[in-house]
Chain A
Amino acid sequence: MSPAPLIEVRGLGKTFAVRDGLRTRALHALTDVTFEVHRGEAVALVGESGSGKSTAARVIARLLPASSGELRFDGADVLARRRVPLSFRARVQLIFQDPFASLNPVHTIGYHLERPLLRHGKARGRAAVAARVHELLDSVGLAPAAELARKHPHQLSGGQRQRVAIARALAVAPDVILADEPTSMLDASIRVGVLNLLRDLKEQRGIALLLITHDLASARYLADRTVVMYAGHVVEVGPSALVMAAPLHPYTRLLISAVPDARGSFATPLAARGGAPRLIDPPPGCPFAARCPEVHDRCRRELPALRPVSVSRLARCHLHQPAALSAAS
């Protein structure tokens, strides 16, 4: 038997209470999120704005409580425990989009790295801590380390700050890094360096990666598998190259058709219309039905399940499920 996945998410749901005039209503940010991340694997979470990517990452990092569903880490049920153990915080590290907001302007870069080292007991004594800080800065390509450690966040470029955020995550020797749009605020020439750094961490240190991005090309560049989300549902899962080359779900097809391509002048038409899904009072059936070019009667009545379509691929769409099979379920 294969070992338990590092992260296993099953039917995760998350609702937020939002005010609507005098009433309070439930916003279904996550309805059914199911996927896993194996040790040393890079998985990308893609989908449009508001699809629930960040919410999923925050629930997985236990920064937000889940409303329903299961979350297993290394085989153990983590939601069962109310308090989040420090060891979990160390093993799962988060990196955010805005590297400026996540660093404290009054502290030096060195301080940002010393803190987690001391807090998690990863180094003891001035000399050892300093040496480890320099090692960390070296490992994310920030040189000369001694000089950088003395600088403050505002003295660094966006790309350098994002490298500091990665170094800080590495300080506690995590099993997995959850990176929420880590490169979307960086310029193209800087972005590649950060993508390559993440790729090296995975390949050389075996750190697993959950990369949240809206850029499909970056997803394919970095991730072994890609998970596509729409309106709080996982709608497709598969090896990244296959998902991009031969998408199964109509929503994935739409996303791919929207990627700019240098052939120019909008040669390929969009595969569906725009329009945000309703997360408050969502209609029954498939969440993509209102926009789907292949919508049929059944889609408006019945939410398709996320089902295997081949050995390595899953899709949540009636087009990919034999009627008999799903009628029986």
Chain B
Amino acid sequence: MTPPPLLEVEDLRVEYLTATGRVRVVDDVSFTVRRGEIVGLAGESGSGKTTIALAILRLLKAPAAITGGRVLFEGRDLLGLGEAELRRVRGRKISLVTQSAMSALNPVITIGEQLVDAIEEHEGVSRRRGLERARRLLELVGLDGARVASYPHELSGGMRQRVVIAMALALEPPLIVMDEPTTALDVVVQRELLGEIARLRDQRGFSILFITHDLSLMLELCTRIGVLYAGRLAEAAPARQLAAAPRHPYTRGLLGCFPELHGAATRLVGIGGTPPDPRHPPPGCRFHPRCGHSLPACHVSAPPRTVVGPDHEVACHLLP
């Protein structure tokens, strides 16, 4: 029998409660992360990626509210936990790396001490033992262990982001949620860091939920990918399958948006129009105003999820 997935997000719904009403920015999103997997969530800005990451860790603040669904972690629904239990889950079971985390490092405290603080908060270790752990964590992410004595401003952006990843690894959680972890970095640094993340994953066997707007990056790193559009999952598939045989018109369009480095420099078509305003989403399929294949049904009813292959689901009326 196969073990249950590490993380199971089921029909997650998040709404922002604004003066003019409820805005549903995550609409019945379901996906799983198994042990040792890197699962990607791709989507354009505003599609709900960060909201999902924060919802999983229960870090959403008002006016945002989770209004439906379940987030099962090791079989337990995180949405039912109290604040004390949640604190035990965060960091130790699930940690979060965000795009802005590297600027959130405390400028007046050495990175070694910041790492020790992160460890101490959960485990009563001595300062000396803690610092030794900090040193090893830095080496793990490809930094010189002696850098424990450095202050954040003495490190480059790429090095700071490595420190943030070291912090996320500190308590060896089985799941790390990474929201645009390399977006602020240069291509070469980004590539080095992603190589490091992939290597660590191979070594330690933790799972990653990897969130980015950059589909081409995701195709390289992830085992499976979910494509979000306006708060809904348009398609989910194994990475190779998604690249080779995308089925949803939006996924197909998106894959056609990246110029190639080699081969013929043919004109790209892109996707016309712009993503909808979440306050006034179009009825039916939210992609229909930009879709070249829409049917009458697309204007009135949201397409159901259809399983089209192993681990491959598509939400589109074109599919039987």
The listed residue (B188, B253, B268) touching A270 by CB distance below 8 A is B188
* Structural contact, A188 and B258, CB atoms closer than 8 A: yes
Interface residues of B in 165-196 (CB under 8 A from A): 186-192, 194-195
Given contacts A187-B44, A221-B265, contact A254 B270 (CB under 8 A): no
* Structural contact, A274 and B253, CB atoms closer than 8 A: no
Which A residue sits closest to B217, measured CB to CB? Answer: A260
* Structural contact, A274 and B192, CB atoms closer than 8 A: yes
* Structural contact, A218 and B259, CB atoms closer than 8 A: yes
Contacts of B269 in A (CB 8 A): 192
Contacts of A261 in B (CB 8 A): 216, 220, 261
Contacts of A159 in B (CB 8 A): 274
Answer yes or no: A244 CB below 8 A from chain B CBs.
yes
Contacts of B85 in A (CB 8 A): none
In the bound complex, CA of A214 to CA of B187 (Å): 8
* Structural contact, B188 and A188, CB atoms closer than 8 A: no
* Structural contact, A254 and B188, CB atoms closer than 8 A: yes
Answer yes or no: A196 CB below 8 A from chain B CBs.
yes
Answer yes or no: A62 CB below 8 A from chain B CBs.
no
In the bound complex, CA of A216 to CA of B187 (Å): 10
Contacts of A217 in B (CB 8 A): 258-261
* Structural contact, B220 and A189, CB atoms closer than 8 A: no
Answer yes or no: A128 CB below 8 A from chain B CBs.
no
The listed residue (A191, A199, A270) touching B257 by CB distance below 8 A is A191
Q: How far is the CB of B217 from chain A (nearest CB, A)?
A: 5
Contacts of A191 in B (CB 8 A): 257, 270
Q: How many residues of B contact A (CB 8 A)?
A: 44
Answer yes or no: B9 CB below 8 A from chain A CBs.
no
* Main secondary structure on A side of the interface with B: helix
* Structural contact, A264 and B239, CB atoms closer than 8 A: yes
Given contacts A189-B254, A196-B270, contact A244 B262 (CB under 8 A): yes
* Structural contact, A274 and B189, CB atoms closer than 8 A: yes
* Structural contact, A196 and B267, CB atoms closer than 8 A: yes
| Mask of A31-48 contacts with B, CB within 8 angstroms, 1/0 | 000000000000000001
Given contacts A48-B186, A157-B274, A270-B192, contact A256 B213 (CB under 8 A): no
Contacts of B215 in A (CB 8 A): 188
Interface residues of A in 116-161 (CB under 8 A from B): 157, 159-160
* Structural contact, B195 and A188, CB atoms closer than 8 A: no
Q: How many residues of A contact B (CB 8 A)?
A: 42
Which B residue sits closest to A50, measured CB to CB? Answer: B186
In the bound complex, CA of A104 to CA of B185 (Å): 28
In the bound complex, CA of A94 to CA of B271 (Å): 26
In the bound complex, CA of A255 to CA of B187 (Å): 7
Given contacts A255-B187, A266-B198, contact A221 B259 (CB under 8 A): yes
Interface residues of B in 199-236 (CB under 8 A from A): 213-217, 219-221
| Mask of B245-284 contacts with A, CB within 8 angstroms, 1/0 | 0000000011011111110010111111011000000000
Q: How far is the CB of A234 from chain B (nearest CB, A)?
A: 18
- Which among A216, A220, A221, A274 has the highest number of chain B CB atoms within 10 Å? A274
Which A residue sits closest to B274, measured CB to CB? Answer: A157
* Structural contact, B191 and A260, CB atoms closer than 8 A: yes
Contacts of B275 in A (CB 8 A): 187, 189
* Structural contact, B257 and A189, CB atoms closer than 8 A: yes
In the bound complex, CA of A262 to CA of B225 (Å): 13
Answer yes or no: A259 CB below 8 A from chain B CBs.
yes
* Structural contact, B156 and A276, CB atoms closer than 8 A: yes
Q: How far is the CB of A171 from chain B (nearest CB, A)?
A: 24
Contacts of B221 in A (CB 8 A): 264-266
Answer yes or no: A5 CB below 8 A from chain B CBs.
no
* Structural contact, B219 and A214, CB atoms closer than 8 A: no
- Which among A49, A257, A262 has the highest number of chain B CB atoms within 10 Å? A262
Contacts of B257 in A (CB 8 A): 188-189, 191-192
The listed residue (B45, B190, B198, B254) touching A258 by CB distance below 8 A is B190
Q: How far is the CB of B268 from chain A (nearest CB, A)?
A: 5
Answer yes or no: A1 CB below 8 A from chain B CBs.
no
Interface residues of A in 177-195 (CB under 8 A from B): 187-193, 195
Contacts of A255 in B (CB 8 A): 187-188
* Structural contact, A48 and B268, CB atoms closer than 8 A: no
Answer yes or no: B76 CB below 8 A from chain A CBs.
no
* Structural contact, A258 and B220, CB atoms closer than 8 A: no
Q: How far is the CB of B291 from chain A (nearest CB, A)?
A: 12
Which B residue sits closest to A256, measured CB to CB? Answer: B261
In the bound complex, CA of A260 to CA of B258 (Å): 11
Q: How far is the CB of A316 from chain B (nearest CB, A)?
A: 19
Which B residue sits closest to A272, measured CB to CB? Answer: B188
In the bound complex, CA of A192 to CA of B256 (Å): 9
* Structural contact, A187 and B213, CB atoms closer than 8 A: yes
| Mask of A242-273 contacts with B, CB within 8 angstroms, 1/0 | 00110000000011111111111110001001
The listed residue (A189, A257, A258) touching B44 by CB distance below 8 A is A189
Q: How far is the CB of A272 from chain B (nearest CB, A)?
A: 8
Contacts of B243 in A (CB 8 A): 262
Given contacts A259-B187, A266-B220, A270-B191, contact A192 B198 (CB under 8 A): no
Contacts of B68 in A (CB 8 A): none
Cβ-closest 10 pairs across A and B: A192-B270, A221-B259, A187-B44, A258-B191, A189-B271, A217-B259, A188-B257, A262-B219, A260-B220, A258-B188
Chain A interface residues toward B at CB < 8 A: 48-49, 157, 159-160, 187-193, 195-196, 199, 214-218, 220-221, 241, 244-245, 254-266, 270, 273-274, 276
- Give me 11 other A-B pairs in contact (C-beta within 8 A), A187-B45, A188-B257 excluded: A48-B188, A188-B213, A189-B270, A189-B271, A192-B257, A199-B267, A221-B259, A258-B190, A261-B261, A262-B219, A264-B219
* Contact sample, A vs B, 21 pairs, CB 8 Å cutoff: A160-B274, A187-B44, A189-B253, A190-B270, A192-B256, A192-B269, A192-B271, A215-B187, A216-B261, A221-B259, A221-B268, A258-B188, A260-B191, A260-B219, A261-B216, A262-B219, A262-B220, A270-B192, A273-B192, A274-B158, A274-B192
